[in-house]
Every structure is written in structure tokens, then in C-alpha cells.
Amino acid sequence: MALHKYLVFFCLLAVVYPKSLKDDSVQEDIEEYIANKQLDINPRYRLHYHVIPPVGWMNDPNGFSYYKGEYHIFYQYYPYDSVWGPMHWGHSSSPNLVDWKTLPTALVPEEEMCFSGGAVADGDTMILMYTGRVVTDEEPYFNETQYLAFSNDGIQFTKYDGNPVLKETPNNSPDFRDPKVWKHGEHWYAIIGSKTDDETGRVLLYRSLDMINWEFLRILGESTGEMGYMWECPDLFELNGKFVFLWSPQGLAPQGDRFKNIYQTGYIIGNFNYETFEFIPETEFEELDYGHDFYASQTAEKDGKRYQVAWFNTWEKTHPEAADGWAGALTMFRELELVGDRILMKPVEDMITLRGELVLDGELQKDDTIDFDQTGEIIIKADLEKKIEILIAGRNGGDKVWIRWDPEVGKVSVDRSGDVRQVKWSPISSHSWRLFLDASSLELFCGEGEVVFSSRAYPDGEWSLTNLSPQVVNIEAYKLRRSVPYP
């Protein structure tokens, strides 16, 4: 649809749609509750440079996009308790993917819970496409369809009066969620997670000229049985001349070091044809991050660069911060590169603007310790012909994490008090590690980002780092400033 026609359509929506966030009292009540509840939040585990909910529960990132000069990230949100509940969309924005401000709640559930989805900009209009989950009276007691909401300022959103715009899958599966939308040529495309009749995961591909009337094109990919029972949060994008099919399968069985988390996020490299709408895989499924807490990734493109973020937690585990009035976080934002058939992840460039006091620039002897506040960036260089062992711990107790390199097997491991994640690491050029600590998290980037671990950890007090290696290691370490709001 031509842009001017779309803007006329948006203006008509503003006239005919009477509910949702058009009701200012709903918005005001939520924001008043959040402001008051923030005063009761215990700050001990509150992250300093990760997007976190102001109060309550957060899970999947949603709607990662660029609009009117700023990056926007939305997220699954329940403000009224620090456990999962009727899903809203929380909202933050940033000029640089590092410094974030919290915006008013973007979507509020009505007859539907506002499950995950994407966002696109069409001229001056921001469009959200999300899954509306409705409770039903018959098994399986829910149904999922696709909804739209619109904004002309990126803050206040109006739901489309004709929702849902995508009502059913080809096989009528009620599991039909997490649309990711992009534009190619004159068409909008959407990929959406779903299931087969025999309970295996699949991803469906659609297209539209106007974001309202959608045509089913084909099954983009599906499990043959070994790749899980549900495929969530799909993404498809071009990177360095290839296409990356990225998604979060549920139900993968552990295989040695692989698939140790309850659910996974990973990718396949291949080619996609806009004439036949077929994705041709060229690699096997590979995990994107090897840490304990990484799920439901989203990506966005700006100026030829592809950026990524994920939920910095996982399902079916204890969230210690929930006792403090909030739960959940997003990972640091990363830039993706494709080298051969490997995705490399590195922190976005502006992360260096967080650096403050230099803690150490030199050698750290065996068994020596350096202390941090609640944040730190540590660049570690050592001889990869020898073992490396670094202990990260709270100064007053709490969680301990050992980061190790074993040259005999060529593996890096992150050991969180006996819960180990490990993977083989083949450096491309750099042999250093770049470790980021926050009040209840660590993220380890190995070399050029060939291997990355994202894990939550909960210290008592501030952090310390001890060199337990049988060698001297070189350390360049900084304290980091806060870049997310603190009430």
C-alpha cells in the first residue's frame, strides 16, 4: 500500500477505535502503579546496563526496530507481580543500543493477552504485529492469532479495530505465535512459529501488500522429529550474502555438551529464494549462545549492520530477583557477523562509552584477586597452550562462577556452582576473552565472538575476580557506569 494511503488508514483507525490505550485512564493507572511500586524494589540484583522491567515480570524481547532516530525494544511484561501473568508490552528506547530510557507501557491486554511479535516502520507510522492469545472453553483452552497496533509517535499505540488479521494456520493449530515482519520489494513478509498435527515444530511464511490481508506462502521449515515440538520466535535475515534462519525450538534432547538448557536458541545458514519462497539449508542447527540464560532472540538491521538481543533468563528455573519485586532482563545488545558458516557475536561498539575507572592494566599473578563494584569489563589475555581458570564470586558469598580453558580438549567452560556449560573454541585471530559483569549477570565473548556465554549469577555484595590459573594472566579491567534508569 502506498505510504499516503497507509497514513489515511491510520487516521481512520484513530477515529473508529474506542478502547485499549486510547482510554487514557488505563495508561495512567498502569504508570501510577509502576511509579509507586518502584519505591519498594530491592536494588541488590538490579542490573546497571541491561534493559530490565521497572517493576514486575519480563520475558521475551519484542519489536526490536529503528524508528524516528532511535532504537526501540519492547518486551513481554506483567507489571503487577514478579511472576508471569497476563502479558503486556513494556517499552524502552535508545539512541545507541547502550543508553536506555523507559517509555510508557505500549500494549495492554483486553480480551487477548499480548504475546510476542515484531515492529516495523512505514514512513512516520510504527506498526506492531503481535500474537493475541485468547482463553477458550474447549481443549486446548487457548487460541493464538495475529494482531496489529499502530503509532505515529512510537509511544502511544492504537490497536486495529479489525483484529485479528491472521486468524488460523493451514492445519488449524492453536499454537501460532511470535510473528517477525520485514519488507522486501512491495510486499511485507512474516514468519510465525507453529506446530504440525503430530506435535513437531514448524515455521510458516506469509506475505501481504498492506499488513492486513495476508497470503500463506509455504512452510519455511519444520522438524522431522528430532528438533522439538514447538518452534518459537523465528527470524530470517540476510547476512554477508547468505540467509540466517534463527529460531527457538522447544523440546530438544541434550546431546553431550549441546542443548543443556531447558529450551534453545540457534540458527541454520542457507539461501532463501523470493521467487519460490524456499529456504535451502547449508548447515546443521547451531546454538547462538552457550550460556545458561539465553532465549527468544530478536534481531534488527540498521545501516547494513545486524544487531541482536535475547531474554537473559530461561523458563522453569528459580529467578532470585523475583523476591525483590522484579524478574527478568535482556542481554547486552550485540552485533552479528557471518564468517564462513559461523555467526560471530560481539558487543555493540558504544559499550566502550560505559568505561569508567581503570581497575587494572597489567599482570594478575596466580591466586591474586581484584575487586569490582557491581559492574566490570575485563579483557583477559593468557597463553592458550596452558590451562586458564578464573573465579568470579561475590565478595560476601553468593554464587560462584569458574571460567576455564582446557587446551587438551580445546574447550571453554562456564561452571556456575557445578552447573557447567562448555563448548569447543577455535579462535580466528584474537585469543583474548572479553568479560562483562553486572549486578547479577556475566557475559563472556571469546576471541572475535566465535563463542559467547550469557549467564545470570547472584552474588552477595560486589564482585571479585581471582586468577586460579597455573600461569600469570594479563588483565585490562574497568568499572562501568549505569546506562539504564534507576528509580
pLDDT at position 12 is: 35
Q: Indicate if 326 and 401 belong to the same structural domain.
A: no
Sign of CA dihedral 142, 145, 146, 148: negative
Q: Residue 402 domain-assigned?
A: yes
* Residue 68 is assigned to a structural domain of this protein: yes
Q: Which residues, other chains included, contact 257 with Cβ-Cβ below 8 Å and sequence gap of 6+?
A: 411, 421, 422, 423
Based on the structure, what is the number of domains in the chain?
A: 2
Q: Which helix (H) or strand (E) holds 11?
A: helix 3-16
Q: Is position 438 within any domain? A: yes
DSSP 8-state assignment for residue 139: T
Q: What is the DSSP string of 434-475?
A: EEEEETTEEEEEETTTTEEEEEE--BSSSEEEEE-SSS-EEE
Within 8 A by CB and 6+ apart from 163, the residues are 112, 132, 145, 147, 148
| Catalytic one of 24, 40, 60, 161 | 60
pTM score above 0.85: yes
Q: In one letter, which amino acid is 131? A: T
End position of a domain, from candidates 284, 316, 349 = 349
Is the residue at 100 inside a domain?
yes
The span from the CA of 453 to the CA of 421, in Å, is 8
**245, 236 contact by CB (below 8 A):** yes
The predicted pLDDT at position 220 comes to 98
Same domain, 340 and 414: no
- Segment holding 90, helix H or strand E: strand 88-94
Q: What is the domain extent for residue 467?
A: 355-479
Query: How far is residue 247 CA from its own chain's centroid?
Result: 11
Residue 487 domain flag: no
Are 339 and 403 found together in one domain? no
Looking at the structure, tell me whether residues 278 and 320 fall in a common domain: yes
H helices present in 17-167, as ranges: 24-38
Instruction: State the first-to-last Cα distance of the chain, in angstroms, to the nearest integer.
Output: 43
Domain assignment of residue 443, yes or no: yes
Work out the number of other CB atoms within 10 angstroms of the CB of residue 364: 22
Residue 91 sits in the same domain as residue 180:
yes
Looking at the fold, whether 451 and 404 belong to one and the same domain comes out as yes
Q: Are residues 334 and 397 in the same domain?
A: no
- Among residues 3, 19, 212, 210, which one has the least CA distance to residue 107? 19
Q: Is residue 97 part of a domain?
A: yes
Q: What's the CATH code of the domain at 468? A: 2.60.120.560
Which of 292, 326, 349 is a domain's end point? 349
pLDDT for 417 equals: 93
What does the pLDDT read at residue 13?
36
Whether residues 136 and 70 share a domain: the answer is yes
The reported pLDDT for the residue numbered 27 is: 86
Does residue 299 lie within any of the structural domains?
Answer: yes
Beta bridge partners of 337: 344
The Cα 235–Cα 221 span in angstroms is 12
Distance CA 263, CA 14 (A): 40
Provide the residue-wise pLDDT of the chain in tens; the chain has 487 residues.
Answer: 333 333 333 333 333 333 444 567 888 899 999 999 999 999 999 999 999 999 999 999 999 999 999 999 999 999 999 999 999 999 999 999 999 999 999 999 999 999 999 999 999 999 999 999 999 999 999 999 999 999 999 999 999 999 999 999 999 999 999 999 999 999 999 999 999 999 999 999 999 999 999 999 999 999 988 999 999 999 999 999 999 999 999 999 999 999 999 999 999 999 999 999 999 999 999 999 999 999 999 999 999 999 999 999 999 999 999 999 999 999 999 999 999 999 999 999 999 999 999 999 999 999 999 999 999 999 999 999 999 999 999 999 999 999 999 999 999 999 999 999 999 999 999 999 999 999 999 999 999 999 999 999 999 999 999 999 999 999 999 999 999 998 7
Let me know whether 36 and 170 are in one domain: yes
Longest CA–CA separation in the chain, Å: 71
Cα separations (Å) of 460 from 44, 398, 477?
8, 5, 21
Return the pLDDT at 3: 34
The DSSP line for 373-398 is SS-EEEEEE--TTS-EEEEEEETTSB
Q: Return the pLDDT at 23.
A: 62
Q: Is 124 a catalytic residue?
A: no
Cell triple for residue 445? 565473548
Do 299 and 377 lie in one domain? The reply is no
Structural domain ending residue among the three candidates 292, 325, 349: 349
- Residues 292 and 388 grouped into a single domain: no
The verdict on 125 and 108 lying in the same domain is yes
Give the dihedral of Cα atoms 23, 27, 28, 29; nearest 10 deg: 100
**CATH number of the domain enclosing 261:** 2.115.10.20
374-384 b/e (C-beta count within 10 Å ≥ 16 → b): bbbbbbbebee
